[in-house]
Amino acid sequence: MTERFRAGWHVGRVASRRPEAASAVRLAIDVPTWPGNHAGSHLDIRLTAPDGYQASRSYSIASSGPTTQVVLAVDEVPSGEVSPYLVHDLREGDELEVHGPLGRYFVWTPDDADPAPVQLIAGGSGVVPLFAMASAREQELQGADFRLLYSVRTPDDVFFADGLAALAKTRVDIVYTRRSAAGAPRRPGRLTRESLAELTFPAEAVPRIFVCGPTPFVETVSGWLSELGHDPARIRAERFGGSG
């Protein structure tokens, strides 16, 4: 990794917000002092109540590169205290404190010398950092072959639907677990080891693999990947589980 984006505290201002799938919001936040970030990294948001009470949560960043606008897609954890505020209460023009960029392991950088293909595997809102990686790859003329396998409940739950459809350098396969899109090639149902094998680079291609999603999803998928012959050292995982 040639470049290092140093983490620090910043004040951001919500530039825009729009619904992102059924239970989530996409936030574009202007952070004038943001140093930029690698695709796949995350940040902390710290909210402060009028009486001084604070709460912090980590969110993956959907954008990357040397930009001062950071894009997030925040899924509401109904029992949580931060994500419901971000999804329902935060308004355009509001300020908020962010700390980042954070994480230099679950990232992909365009100057990466590894020519092996890159397999991205997302469960639900785990698509956010992987979308950042696919988008970063899209900016490059040459580079590794990319595939994204995205497991999601229904078509209404898909994040970045337009952005995913526009990707020309990443092959995207979406597996719907509860309800399929009209004309989808397969019936709704959970990912299986067989469908995983069918929709991802084979072990012989020695891909680097990034898996992100809820803990049970990541545990299951990474176990299958090992059974399919992938070297565990080639698999990078990011799990989330819900304090929201």
Partner 1 sequence: MAIINRGFGGRRGTSDPRLPPGQTLVDDWPVLTAGPTPDISTDEWSFTITTEAGVQHRWDWTTLHDAGAEDIVTDIHCVTHWSRLGMSWRGVSVDRLFEDVETSCDFVMVRTHDGYTTNVPLDDLLEGQAWIATEADGEPLTAEHGGPARLLVPHLYFWKSAKWVAEMRMMPTDEPGFWEQNGYHLRGDPWREERYW
How many positions of this chain bind partner 1 (CB under 8 A)? 48
Q: Is 9 in the site for partner 1 (CB under 8 A)?
A: yes
Contact criterion met (CB below 8 Å) for 129 and 60: yes
> Could you give the 3-state DSSP secondary structure of residue 9?
strand
- The answer to whether 41 touches 104, Cβ cutoff 8 Å, is yes
Residue 23 engages partner 1 in binding (rule: CB under 8 A): no
Could you say which of 90, 120, 175, 212 contacts partner 1 (CB under 8 A)?
90
Residue 222 binds partner 1, judged by CB under 8 A: yes
Minimum distance, C-beta of residue 80 to partner 1, in the bound complex (Å) = 8
97 in contact with partner 1 (CB under 8 A): yes
Name the residue among 50, 219, 223, 197 with its Cα closest to residue 126.
Answer: 219
Residue with tokens 């009028």: 50
- For residue 169, CA distances in Å to 118, 134, 205 come to 11, 8, 17
Segment near partner 1 (CB under 8 A), from 45-53, 108-116, 117-125, 189-197?
45-53
Q: Rank residues 85 and 146 by Cβ distance to partner 1 and give the closer one.
A: 85
Contacts to partner 1 from residues 156-185, by CB under 8 A:
none
Following DSSP, what letter does each residue of 45-97 receive, concatenated?
Answer: EEEE-TTS-EEEEEEE-S--BS-SEEEEEEE--TT-SSHHIIIII--TT-EEE
Which member of 3, 19, 105, 189 binds partner 1 (CB under 8 A)?
A: 105
Pick from 17, 37, 106, 119 the residue near partner 1 by CB under 8 A: 106
Which secondary-structure segment (H or E) carries 36? none
133/1 Cα distance (integer angstroms):
15
Decide: is 92 part of the binding site for partner 1 (CB under 8 A): no
The mark string for 47-86 relative to partner 1 (x by CB under 8 A, - otherwise) is xxxxx-xxxxxx---------------------xx--xx-
**Is residue 217 a contact point for partner 1 (CB under 8 A)?**
no
Q: Is 243 in the site for partner 1 (CB under 8 A)?
A: yes
Burial class (CB in 10 A: 0-12, 13-18, 19+), 210: buried
Amino acid at 132: A
Question: Residue 127: what are its φ and ψ, rounded to 5°?
Answer: -70, -20
**Does residue 153 bind partner 1 (CB under 8 A)?**
no
Contact with partner 1 (CB under 8 A) among 104, 169, 171, 193: 104
Which residues would be at the binding site for partner 1 (CB under 8 A)?
A: 7, 9, 11, 44, 46-51, 53-58, 80-81, 84-85, 89-90, 94-97, 99, 102-106, 215, 219, 222-223, 225-226, 232-233, 235-237, 239-243
